[in-house]
Amino acid sequence: MLVPRPVSTGLLALLLAAAARPLPAAPPGSPSSDPRLAGAHRFERDGWVYVHLEGSPDRIGFQHGALLAPEIDDLLRVMKPFLEHSTGRNWAFYREASEKILWPGIDPEYRREIDGIVAGLASRGVAADRWDIVALNANQELPYYYVPWLDRREGKTPSSHAPGNCSAFIATGSYTADGKIVIGHNSWTNYVIGTRWNILFDIQPESGSRILMDGLPGVIASDDDFGVTSAGLVITETTIAQFEGFDPKGKPEFARARKAMQHARSIDEYVAIMLDGNNGGYANDWLIGDIKTGEIALFELGLKNHMVKRTRDGCFYGANYPESPKLRREETRFNPDNKASSPNARRTRWEQLMAEYKGKIDVYLARRLETDDLDAFTGRRGANERTLCGRVEISPRGVPEWDWTPYYPGGTVQSKVTSAALAGRMTLWAEVGHHGSDFLAGPFLEQHPEYHWMHGLVKDMKAGPWSLFESGMTPAGGTAKR
């Protein structure tokens, strides 16, 4: 996502140590005697790690940390050198910001859950503390919102910028085959982090709604924010490209996003929770649907500006394009006139697809839409940073207007879709990897030595099949009583 930096001697040592560090043993398949793990379990299917967590915040956190200890340890291992290389700020900086900037704004419920993750990791022999886990949760808002804000305050050219990732849509009424809601999302990111974005969380908290969401190990929110809740909400988002703004006195975005997914029972409540203490971090176009009413909404949230559009007959889509002219003008550097840029081209493609398939959209068509590879700017097929299902590392062009450097190993790392009928049963379809093709780290690094610093950090990403997951699944493949 960022122009490569020369690798310092100290950072090179950190990278080598990260590559060589052994991982802890995987959690045993048989239940643990620790009572905090009662009712929790994990299993793996088609590239995904499915984890069921339940109970009080500290129990949910402990289960999360214990059952995903190898994955969390691995993500911390690669996150530290990746962020130092990408932003010029070391892990000690992110830990300090987590303590001084973010922790004061986190609700007690999620403080308990974070501390529970630390306890669960300790039970598996993984050395990580509260500030490591907060920094891991803030892997979007600290590097790409707080750091640029701080750079400008210090009179520096920002070393990083807000990402423009993901393609998503939500439709209802005359746009769908049955007149009910259909939603889809694919997640774009660098392959260092993205190859580890393969967790499906089934969370049954003691208060609020049950949640089925995708996410990163050690992170309490979905982070690309695709989720289904027992309150009848379906949720996703795409980031606002080239956004600038952050309020260090606000509440962390990841904590508000988790709270909204867990505790909101309507679109209005979701919006209200996200606005409460808004810090501008991870500024997004949220797509929200309420399957109880058939209503969908586009909720664009910056720092100074926000808007809500809603309908029971229509569609909204996200391509990292700032919809509000006022927000675009006041809070971004985005150029809406550059038709060759990724957000503009993908927005055009969404317009084409919604017009072509109006009245036909169901979950199976949604899977096709989220894996679409037609470049609306050139009219040619083949994944690149302008296609809805993006793949950046094959791009032969120079630095694009929006985000990516040439041949950067990044793009779509997974996709999810669901419908009102499926969401009513807490069910979704999910696919790991870039649809139809594999990324192989070894050959890529040989061909592109400018990314040698990723050796030991980036790994193979194999394309998986579309698989159906539901809340309450068990390791044996059945569904537990709810």
Domain count of the chain?
2
Q: Are residues 105 and 208 in the same domain?
A: no
Residue that finishes a domain, picked among 129, 153, 177 = 153
Give the C-alpha separation, 281 to 298, whole Å: 18
Give pLDDT tens digits for 49-72: 999 999 999 999 999 999 999 999
- Within-domain flag for 14: yes
Q: What is the pLDDT of residue 366?
A: 98
Query: Domain check: are 384 and 430 in the same one?
Result: yes
Look up the CATH number of the domain holding residue 389. 3.60.60.20
Whether residues 415 and 309 fall in one domain: yes
Residue 75 belongs to a domain = yes
Q: What is the pLDDT of residue 481?
A: 40
Q: What's the angle, vertex CA 184, arms to CA 169 and CA 257, rounded to 5?
A: 85
Q: What is the radius of gyration, based on Cα positions, of the chain? A: 21
Full domain range(s) for residue 364: 167-469
Instruction: Supply the pLDDT for residue 399.
Output: 41
Q: Is residue 388 part of a domain?
A: yes
Low-confidence ranges of the chain (pLDDT < 70): 1-32, 393-404, 477-482
Residue 416 in any domain: the answer is yes
Considering the domain architecture, whether residues 100 and 171 belong to the same structural domain is answered as no
Residue 107 lies inside a defined structural domain of this protein: yes
Cβ neighbours of residue 26 under 8 Å, at least 6 residues apart? 70
Q: Give the C-alpha separation, 216 to 189, whole Å.
A: 12
Residue 215, domain member (yes or no): yes
Tell me if the pTM is above 0.75. Answer: yes
DSSP letters, 30-99, are SPPS-GGGTT-EEEEETTEEEEEEEESHHHHHHHHHHHTHHHHHHHHHHHHHHHHHHHS--HHHHHHHII
Domain end residue (candidates: 90, 124, 153): 153
Q: So what's the pLDDT on residue 160?
A: 87
480 within a domain of the structure (yes/no): no
Nearest to 354 by CA among 296, 314, 300: 314
Residue 235: C-alpha distances to residues 68, 76, 265, 305, 317 (Å): 24, 27, 12, 21, 12
Pair 95, 243 in one domain:
no
Q: Tell me what pLDDT residue 310 has.
A: 98
Same domain? For 176 and 143 the reply is no
- Domain identity same for 134 and 257: no
Query: Are 115 and 193 part of one and the same domain?
Result: no
Q: Does some domain include residue 478?
A: no
Per-residue model confidence (pLDDT) at position 69? 98
List, in sequence order, every residue forming a beta bridge with 306; answer none if it has no partner: 301
What confidence score (pLDDT) does residue 478 get?
Answer: 59
